[in-house]
Structure 1
Amino acid sequence: MIRVVLVDDQALFRAGIRMLVASQPDLEVVGEAGNGQEAIEVVRATRPDVVMMDIRMPVMDGLTATARILEEADPPRIVMLTTFDLDEAAARAIRQGASGFLLKDADPEFLLAAIRTVHSGSSVIAASATRDLFAHFAAPAQVPVPASYGDLTEREKEIFALAARGLSNAEIAAREFLSEATVKTHISRILTKLALRDRVQLVVFAFEHGLN
């Protein structure tokens, strides 16, 4: 069972998400909060697997709460919820360690899939903003490419570039005539060499350093 905490200052929105999550046999809402400060307390009390975190809330915003929760021992995965396609706060949250972000009007099935995806260790980004978000807020020319990028093999750099564009393992495998298992191995090595946690941070890294 995947344990979920919902954080949003709109009770009606939380109720809708709670009903959606509760309809799934493998998901369970174990707590709710109406602001960031409450979120920290609820997370400490319930130890969830995934937190769905609104960005803009009173008392303490979701960005601050996310940073504090991720400082805890064995923190949950956090998905930011936003109303806007291009949201600087969402980009900042991802840089802090959030597992991605979704638009509040996302399709219900996509939201449920996102919870399962981040719980499995992967990341999610609202499909409509994968590229624009980071292109809009990153400043590639101002950030030198770190030496660690030079440690990648030519093949790894090719895989890196495709992953940075948002292609899935299956899409990369088809394009490069590789097996998905081989692509997964390449991605794992790339993340290790660049000290990145997941594919979302890989996308951020690419845009920050002008490698997109």
Structure 2
Amino acid sequence: MLNTIDKSAVRNAATVILLRDAATQPKVLMGQRGAQAAFMPNKFVFPGGAVDAVDGTIPLACPINSACDARLRVDADASLAQAFIAAAIREVWEETGLIFGSAGAWAIEPPKGWRGFAASGHLPDPSGFNFIFRALTPPGKPRRFDARFFLVEADRAVGDLDDFSRAEDELSHLQWIPLEQAKQFDLPFVTEVVLSEVSGLLKTGLPPQSVPFFRNDESGSKLLRIE
């Protein structure tokens, strides 16, 4: 059982590792945050961001896989499981222009933040999304996030994987980086840890047997496991 986290100063977040050419020369999609960003300026990161209140109301094309769903509910409101996945898909859309979705009509009026995605004629599709890592930002940072990291094979996206023309400008220098070269970039520490986890999963397969939880709080840093 994990001790409850004080959510008062922490925002839930979702981050996505898009993996390409896993069987030949694995690559991951990363981009650089702006110099003026309040959180991790100039760092190369995976697409991701905070969970919005509306994300839990978004209809998905199919259910979340059971292992992923159960682990997302650990130490979190059960209703957040769907919100984490929806936020992950939305952030990829916003920051890269890539669509993880299935063709279909929305049964609700798309809320702000989702209108462009809905206009593409797709419902967000969680197929192939695997929850592989969780990290809580240390105290004292200007912003704190409780982030869930998802790994998905890039070829599940709709369209051209090299077309970032619909991306917003939050990340610059978007590029597919060979996994073995990624640590040569200016990365946050947690990103380096997650890259090592991805390398391990390429050998052991998905879903992971358990999910590492890198927890930072007032008592220090701990590496826990979500079974």
Larger relative helix fraction:
1
Shorter-chain TM-score bucket reads under 0.3
Larger relative strand fraction:
2
Q: Which has the higher contact order (CA 8 A, sep 6+)?
A: 2
Larger radius of gyration: 1
TM-score, scaled to structure 2? 0.25
